[in-house]
């Protein structure tokens, strides 16, 4: 069966969100890769190194927050094709320190389709253990996605 117009439009939006993520200057500091895996789902992969350690020799909480927030945000923004979402709140739970290796943040949309969206995310280390979890609330901004560098390959 051929691709439907809706699915091809959704796929274009997902790839455009990945381009938007890759173009963000902060991701030059926190090397990571986004994969939008379907409606309401996003996955971010990154490597923990000493560059993100706190004084006691494990990943600082900023890396947990960034990856959990980004995964939840992009999961929610899969449902919005015209506007950039903004994080309005985010609750974070640290469950295990991590010192090195590949970590994956998995984001999943939970509720909301009009103005406010709720999404959750979890961080999983190389052993498959959950090391953090978060829930965020996101709202539509006035910023058009199409105006942003990186979205649909726009420079």
Domains of the chain as residue ranges with CATH? 5-153 (3.10.129.10)
CB count, 10 Å around CB of 129? 11
> Phi and psi for 88 in degrees, rounded to 5?
-105, -25
> What pTM did the predictor assign?
0.92
What is the per-residue pLDDT across 128-153, written as a single tens digit (0 to 9) for each?
999 999 999 999 999 999 999 899 86
> Phi and psi for 73 in degrees, rounded to 5?
-55, -50
What is the per-residue pLDDT across 60-112, written as a single tens digit (0 to 9) for each?
999 999 999 999 999 999 999 999 999 999 999 999 999 999 999 999 999 99
Helix (H, G, I), strand (E, B) or coil at 99: coil
What is the per-residue pLDDT across 45-57, written as a single tens digit (0 to 9) for each?
999 999 999 999 9
Query: What's the pLDDT at 49?
Result: 92
């Amino acid at each position: 069966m051929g691709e439907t117009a809706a699915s091809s439009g959704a796929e274009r939006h997902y790839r455009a969100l990945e381009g938007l993520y890759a173009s963000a200057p902060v991701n030059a500091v926190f090397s990571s890769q986004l994969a939008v895996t379907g409606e309401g789902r996003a996955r971010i992969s990154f490597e923990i190194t000493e560059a993100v350690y706190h004084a006691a020799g494990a990943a600082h909480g900023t890396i947990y927050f960034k990856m959990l927030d980004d995964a939840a945000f992009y999961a929610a923004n899969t449902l919005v094709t015209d506007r950039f979402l903004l994080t309005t709140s985010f609750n974070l739970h640290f469950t295990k320190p991590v010192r090195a290796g590949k970590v994956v943040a998995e984001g999943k949309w939970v509720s909301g389709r009009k103005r406010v969206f709720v999404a959750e995310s979890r961080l999983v280390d190389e052993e498959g253990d959950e090391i953090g979890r978060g829930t965020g609330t996101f709202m539509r901004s006035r910023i058009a996605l199409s105006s942003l560098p990186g979205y649909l390959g726009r420079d």
